[in-house]
Structures are given as C-alpha cells and as structure tokens.
Amino acid sequence: MSNSGTIGFFDSGVGGLTIWNEVNKLLPLENTIYLADSINAPYGEKNQEEILKLCIQNVDFLIERNAKMIVVACNTATTQAIDKLRDLYAIPFIGIEPAIKPAALKSKTKCIGVLATNGTIESVHFNRTKEHFSNDVKVVTQVGEGLVRAIEGGLLNSLELNGILKEHLEILCKEPIDHLVLGCTHYPLLIPMIEKNIEGNISIVDPGPSVAKQTERVINANYLTNSDPELPAHKMYSTGRIDVLKSIVESFSLSTANQVSYSSLYQPE
C-alpha cells in the first residue's frame, strides 16, 4: 500500500528546516510541505496554552494541504504539545526532543551540555529524561536566549549572533562537558560558528539524521510511501520573512532545488 499525500513539517520558524533537509536527503521521493510560523517565534518564551493553540493552527494548515503525517520540527512544540496533538488527530506525528540519551551514554567525562530554549528546558518531558540519567551523568543546561530571534531576523553568520552564542558556550564550557546537545532545531544552523567557539574535544549532537530515520520507519510502518509517479514537490510557507527561509533552503545546495516553491503567509497588521 502507498499514499500520494505529503510529509508536513512545522516549526516556530526556519529552524525545522534542519530536520526537513535531513528527511529530504533520506527520502528524496517524498512530497513535503513546510510551515515556518516565524511571525510567532520564539515559541520558547510562550506558555503551554499559547504554544498548543499555535500548534493546532499549524497542524490544521498542513492537513488541509494533504499532510499524511507531521514532523513537529521543533523541540519546544514537541515537549509542550505533542501528547495533545496525538490525542486530537489520527495521523502519525514525529516529535523531536534534546538527544540527552545518546550523549549521556557516550560521555566519558560524565558531563554533557544542552543548549535549548526556555520552553524546552522547563518542560516536564525534558526534566523527566534529564532525571532519568542524573545518577550517571551531569546534564548542564543553558537557555540559548536571543539565538532564535537573531536567526529569524536574518542575522545568521553575523558578528552580533556570534557574540550572543559565544557567551552561552562560555557558560556551558565552564563544566567538563564532552558532548553538546543542540536542543533547538535552529541551532544546527550555527554549527560552523559553534565549532569556532569551542575548544577541546566536544562532540556536537545534532538530532536531524536520527529524526529522518524515525520518519522513514513511521512511513514504512504505516504504509505511507509516496505512490505519486510525478517528481516530488516541496512547498515552503512562512508567516514571517520568506527571504530568510529561502536563503536557508538555498544554503543546503539541494539537488531538488527546482522542485521547491515558496509562499508568503505574512499579513501586516
């Protein structure tokens, strides 16, 4: 059995593109639709009720456009809302949470760092996982204050963003961490900058490839493989700055670039 629907993705902005890119590399024959709710970023500063309301809007938007499954490409939305989304909708959801487990299992110094949003670090989900490993490993957390806003504002690769990032990393690196878990989907966009700002042997844990593998497993288990003989289409929507979204997609140097279309949902007040 197969299916002509599309894989839906949403994030509070452009961060989930790091997940979308990994899924697209692994499953190049699948149609995708991506919603960047950039006008409402950062989600990490909102309360759970507000986040859930936005997630429901995003999911309805994707389902109206033929999503057969949804990747919640946002740690904050996953930790705050995915249980409720699974209760409300019949299609499969894939979530993403800071990858504490693989980092904790591999850590030699028994100390790992997690850079994430306030919403994720405060969530019940996150604290449950952190607690689970707390006997063996020290999990040092840092809220990446300012990073999402700067990326959404088109400041990726800027000195200003580098300054903010450097401060966060300096705090984390005061502890003997040997793994740095990127607990927000925006942060893999910063990997080149992170590498320049950390010293010693610290492995950066980017969850994108394992989320892509999980997406593949869910597609197979639910018989959702794309049956459409046409070349797959990738539809990108943003409630905010479509230029920022486009520049990030273009930086991925995709072989499928001519199959990507962009639509702005920005509505000036």
Report the nearest approach of ligand DGL to the CB of residue 169 (Å): 18
Alpha carbon 269 to its chain centroid, in Å, reads: 28
CB 2 within 8 A of CB 225: yes
* Site track for ligand DGL across 173-202, x = CB under 6 A: -----------xxx----------------
**23/30 Cα distance (integer angstroms):** 9
Alpha carbon 221 to its chain centroid, in Å, reads: 23
Structure tokens at 70: 């949804």
Among 31, 76, 238, 239, binds ligand DGL (CB under 6 A): 76
Report the nearest approach of ligand DGL to the CB of residue 183 (Å): 7
**Which residue lies nearer to ligand DGL by CB, 44 or 113?**
44
Check if 74 is active-site: yes
Question: In degrees, to the nearest 5, what angle opens at C-alpha 238 toward C-alphas 235 and 243?
Answer: 95
Structure tokens at 247: 């520049």
Q: Which residue number places its CB atom closest to ligand DGL?
A: 44
Burial 99-137 (b: 16+ CB within 10 A, else e): bbeebbeebeeebbbbbbbbbbbbbebbeebbeebeeeb
Report the nearest approach of ligand DGL to the CB of residue 141 (Å): 13
Among 31, 32, 58, 120, binds ligand DGL (CB under 6 A): 120
Among 5, 44, 95, 113, binds ligand DGL (CB under 6 A): 44
How far is the CA of 202 from the CAs of 93, 199, 205, in angstroms? Answer: 32, 7, 9
**Which residue lies nearer to ligand DGL by CB, 193 or 233?**
193
Contacts of ligand DGL in 122-161 (CB under 6 A)? 148
Report the nearest approach of ligand DGL to the CB of residue 144 (Å): 9
Check if 184 is active-site: yes
Quick check: helix, strand or coil at residue 85? Answer: helix
**Which residue lies nearer to ligand DGL by CB, 148 or 224?**
148
**Which residue lies nearer to ligand DGL by CB, 38 or 226?**
38
Contact segment (CB under 6 A) with ligand DGL among 9-17, 50-58, 104-112, 197-205 equals 9-17
CA quadruple 17, 46, 95, 93: dihedral sign: negative
Interface residue list for ligand DGL (CB under 6 A): 11-12, 15, 41-44, 74-76, 117, 120, 148, 184-186
Residues annotated as part of the active site: 74, 184
